[in-house]
């Protein structure tokens, strides 16, 4: 890609035409060059390319080279003067005549934008400024899709949004800010252009278009306000004629006297004359304003990509989500002696859906529980950071991840964590803090009070190093005994061959057979306790069916390619990161480097921003190696606006050391619903980690709507089995070792294991004594 030598790409956007995007782009380019940076300007305003005229190089012609088109040089670098080089590319250079109209439909515009991004041979640049047309049309969509998919980590720094002060302009520019939010483009700041008029004949600067509208808009969206820029006719004179700006005595802008000294030489210089444009521009009244704006843009570019604030002190981003970092938990966090390996996965449902919470439960259900630390302490995990929105709270842990929905909780831990020891606290918090009904004791104040789950799943792959585990996790038999003592009516399964990779599952029923449903016990009730065990599936929901879209895909990968696994080491990621990230204390580098790795390895593209514009990733890179990430993936909105935008999740955990290399990927994003099919997700994930062997488990809720159709059970099972075969079977470069399909009470399940073609296992690795 022709952008490979560019450090930072900055878009100049506006939803309104005529606000001065091109003049802002020009002055940003000149100011960056005066600050010593090498700069490129790409003009993608295809129907009105004005950048060639702004730099007085309209007669220049583009040269074709082996690497692509060569951009036009405005001026070369001058290290002695502290001036960086400046080069420009525009469709204007390709038109036979300046006044030729460009009458193109959308597909041709899209193709031209992509060609500009792939076929222009840029040399090494510090900054590439992209001047865009007004609106949010084909050019913008093509830019966003191409840059978000192809630019390397951190390369797309963000956008500078330009407006004028009056309400008619800010109303349109607000749409541009919404466009940035939907496409995941960071807003570096807002410039209020044409904020005042510098009279060429007196000392007045008059607000002919009012003032302050841009700042109000920036504050409303919680983005940085970069400053006000007045109209200066002398800047136009400089651009149109090449003459140095001159101001009468007493002229002041922003309280600063900019009048030209009486003895200053005033010669009729042209842009091709004895001085370059970049050398004349500092005499313009706008130069000091843009010098300050440029400094703020550079500062914003160096800010944390997760939360758009200073890297030394991350804060919550100004949007609907809440993003927080637990800095105390990061102090001296080191994984040198940590053991990761296959995770233990617990999923507890207290209702069939977020909209079917039992009476008396708090409005947000489990999300009303503000503190899960008591449970996590028993599990031996710490919260590193959190993403929250109205549907889901996603906690990135020192040992994997926690996801909290109003109606269910998912806890996934690795290493020697004692996940099952946290169950009693989890159920107590669900009863006391969220208000879910309980049946195992008489009083809410009883220390053993436990909310009655709707259903419970506990699962894991066979351990590779079971001798390192602590009870009850030292064997599957002991784990099942622990769960059987706690719950009524559970079932345990081992899926797959004993002498190969296999999978364990414990699940409870939503149609209990041991004891009939009883009235929940309240803190004031006199109903006697039913037993010391915790019942499941006995709470009534008025005939509410399970969500037929519920689906969980888990990919467990072992024996990662050693060379490829190096990207999950800090030393490797630091080579890709900016100087500002590497200058941080090691305790503060984990999250910024985690974002670098997410983009570099391709994780950010598994659910691409072009399809899921509101998706967010919270990632952490451990010291000296190891990687964890949580993704929150709101469903894409429907064209008729009927979508509820319910959030789903994915989570990734990587142990890259060769002696125990392992990676996992889990998601509940339904396959194929406006997004990639299940087999596409598997292919993308496997391509990222390149395992020698991996297994796939796919859980899918049965479609309750088919229960009353004329189809017999055998036909329906065959239909699902044939469909899941297509969804999980053909993975390029791998051969299937085993496939097991289960028909459970409310779910269909498939387990499939694969080996890479040509991979040698070195013998069976059973992992534990069953």
- For the annotated binding site, the residues are 15-22, 199, 202
Sign of CA dihedral 434, 436, 442, 447: negative
Q: Which of 90, 400, 452, 753 is catalytic?
A: 400
Residue 531: active-site member: no
Among candidates 766, 745, 739, 736, which has minimal Cα distance to 701?
Answer: 745
Annotated binding site for ATP: which residue ranges?
15-22
> Quick one: 507 exposed, middle or buried, by C-beta within 10 A (0-12, 13-18, 19+)?
buried
| Vertex 406 angle, CA 403 and 410, to 5° | 25
Residue 661: active-site member: no
**Dihedral angle at the C-alpha atoms of 730, 733, 738, 740, nearest 10 degrees?**
-30
Residue 653: active-site member: yes
Residue 502: active-site member: no
Query: Whole-angstrom Cα distance, residue 120 to residue 64?
Result: 9
The angle that helices 678-689 and 713-728 make with each other, rounded to 10 degrees, is 30
DSSP code of residue 542: T
Count of C-beta atoms within a 10 Å radius of residue 685 = 24
φ/ψ of 550, rounded to 5, equals -65, 130
DSSP code of residue 516: -
Contact between residue 269 and residue 243 where contact means Cβ atoms under 8 Å apart: yes
Q: Are strands 63-65 and 68-70 parallel, antiparallel or unpaired?
A: antiparallel
**Dihedral angle at the C-alpha atoms of 309, 314, 318, 324, nearest 10 degrees?**
170
Q: Which of 572, 653, 749, 755 is catalytic?
A: 653
CA atoms within 13 A on the CB side of 634: 21
Contact between residue 24 and residue 229 where contact means Cβ atoms under 8 Å apart: yes
Q: According to DSSP H, which parts of 333-422 are helical?
A: 373-379
Residue 484: active-site member: no
Which H or E run includes 726? helix 713-728
Query: Whole-angstrom Cα distance, residue 577 to residue 298?
Result: 16
Query: Whole-angstrom Cα distance, residue 696 to residue 459?
Result: 13
Query: Whole-angstrom Cα distance, residue 100 to residue 47?
Result: 10
Annotated binding site for [4Fe-4S] cluster: which residue ranges?
199, 202
Contacts 24+ apart (CB under 8 A), 434-438: 434/350, 434/361, 434/362, 434/365, 434/366, 434/368, 434/369, 435/360, 435/361, 435/362, 435/368, 436/350, 436/358, 436/361, 436/365, 437/358, 437/360, 437/520, 437/539, 438/520, 438/521
DSSP code of residue 521: B
Query: Whole-angstrom Cα distance, residue 254 to residue 244?
Result: 21
Query: Whole-angstrom Cα distance, residue 163 to residue 209?
Result: 11
Q: Which of 284, 304, 314, 414 is catalytic?
A: 414
CA atoms within 13 A on the CB side of 154: 26
Among candidates 307, 290, 308, which has minimal Cα distance to 299?
Answer: 308
Q: Which of 139, 176, 321, 340 is catalytic?
A: 340
Query: Whole-angstrom Cα distance, residue 646 to residue 392?
Result: 9
DSSP code of residue 735: E
Residue 215: active-site member: no
Among candidates 172, 134, 138, which has minimal Cα distance to 48?
Answer: 134
Which residues are catalytic, by number? 340, 343, 400, 414, 628, 653
């Amino acid at each position: 890609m022709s952008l490979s030598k560019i450090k930072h790409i900055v878009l100049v956007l506006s939803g309104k035409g005529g606000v001065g995007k091109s003049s802002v782009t020009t002055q940003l380019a000149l100011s960056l060059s005066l600050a010593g940076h090498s700069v490129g300007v790409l003009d993608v305003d295809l129907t009105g390319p004005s950048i060639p005229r702004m730099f007085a190089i309209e007669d220049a012609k583009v040269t074709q080279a082996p690497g692509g088109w060569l951009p036009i040089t405005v001026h070369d670098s001058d290290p002695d003067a502290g001036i960086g080089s400046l080069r420009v590319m525009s469709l204007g250079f390709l038109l036979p005549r300046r006044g030729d109209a460009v009458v193109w439909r959308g597909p041709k515009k899209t193709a031209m934008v992509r060609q500009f991004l792939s076929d222009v041979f840029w040399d090494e640049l510090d900054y590439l400024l992209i001047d865009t047309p007004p609106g949010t049309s084909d050019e913008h969509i093509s830019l966003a899709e191409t840059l978000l998919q192809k630019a390397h980590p951190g390369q797309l720094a963000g956008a500078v949004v330009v407006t004028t002060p009056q309400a008619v302009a800010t109303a349109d520019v607000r749409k541009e800010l919404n466009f940035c939010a939907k496409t995941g483009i960071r807003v570096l700041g807002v410039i209020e252009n044409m904020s005042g008029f510098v009279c060429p004949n007196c000392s007045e600067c008059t607000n002919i278009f009012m003032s302050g509208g841009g700042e109000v808009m920036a504050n409303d969206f919680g983005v940085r306000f970069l400053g006000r820029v007045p109209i200066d006719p002398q800047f136009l004179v400089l651009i149109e004629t090449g003459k140095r700006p001159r101001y009468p005595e007493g002229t002041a802008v922003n309280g600063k006297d900019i009048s030209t000294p009486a003895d200053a030489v005033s010669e009729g210089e042209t842009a091709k004359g004895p001085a370059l444009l970049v050398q004349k521009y500092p005499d313009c009244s706008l130069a000091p304003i843009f010098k300050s704006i440029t400094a703020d843009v550079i500062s914003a570019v160096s800010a944390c990509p997760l939360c758009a604030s200073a890297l030394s002190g991350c804060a919550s981003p100004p949007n609907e989500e809440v993003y927080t970092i637990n800095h105390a938990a990061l102090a001296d966090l080191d994984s040198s002696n940590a053991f990761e390996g296959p995770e233990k996965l617990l999923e507890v449902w207290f209702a069939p859906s977020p909209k079917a919470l039992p009476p008396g439960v708090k409005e947000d259900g489990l999300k009303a529980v503000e503190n899960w630390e008591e449970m996590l302490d028993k599990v031996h995990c710490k919260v590193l950071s959190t993403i929250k929105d109205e549907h889901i709270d996603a906690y990135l842990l020192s040992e994997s991840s926690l996801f909290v929905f109003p109606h269910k909780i998912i806890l996934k831990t690795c290493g020697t964590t004692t996940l099952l020891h946290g169950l009693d606290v989890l159920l107590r918090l669900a009863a006391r803090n969220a208000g879910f009904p309980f049946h195992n004791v008489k009083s809410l104040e009883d220390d053993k009070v436990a909310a009655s789950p709707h259903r419970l799943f506990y699962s894991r792959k066979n351990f590779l190093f079971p001798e390192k585990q602590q009870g009850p996790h030292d064997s599957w038999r002991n784990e099942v005994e622990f769960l059987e003592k706690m719950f009524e009516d559970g079932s345990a399964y081992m899926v797959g061959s004993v002498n190969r990779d296999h999978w364990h599952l414990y699940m409870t029923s939503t149609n209990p057979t041991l004891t009939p449903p009883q009235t929940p016990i309240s803190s004031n009730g006199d109903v006697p306790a039913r037993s010391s065990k915790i019942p499941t599936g006995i709470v009534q929901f008025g005939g509410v069916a399970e969500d037929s879209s519920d689906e969980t895909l888990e990919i467990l990968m072992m024996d990662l390619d050693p060379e490829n696994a190096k990207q999950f080491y800090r030393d490797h990621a630091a080579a890709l990161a900016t100087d500002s990230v590497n200058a941080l204390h090691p305790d503060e580098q984990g999250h910024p480097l985690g974002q670098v790795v997410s983009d570099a390895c391709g994780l950010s593209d598994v659910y691409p921003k072009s399809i899921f514009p509101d998706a967010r990733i919270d990632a952490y890179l451990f010291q000296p190696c190891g990687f964890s990430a949580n993704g929150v993936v709101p469903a894409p909105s429907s064209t008729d606006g009927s979508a509820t935008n319910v959030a789903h999740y994915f989570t990734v955990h990587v142990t890259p050391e060769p002696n125990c290399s392992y990676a996992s990927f889990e998601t509940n994003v339904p396959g194929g619903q406006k997004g990639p099919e299940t087999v596409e997700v598997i292919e993308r994930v496997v391509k990222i980690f390149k395992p020698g062997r991996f297994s796939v488990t796919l859980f899918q809720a049965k479609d309750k709507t088919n229960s009353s159709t004329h189809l017999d059970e055998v036909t329906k099972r065959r239909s699902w089995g044939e469909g899941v075969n297509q969804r999980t079977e053909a993975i390029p470069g791998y051969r299937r070792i085993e496939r097991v399909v289960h028909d459970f009470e409310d779910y269909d399940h498939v387990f499939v294991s694969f080996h890479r073609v040509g991979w040698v296992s070195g013998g069976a690795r059973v992992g534990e004594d069953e």
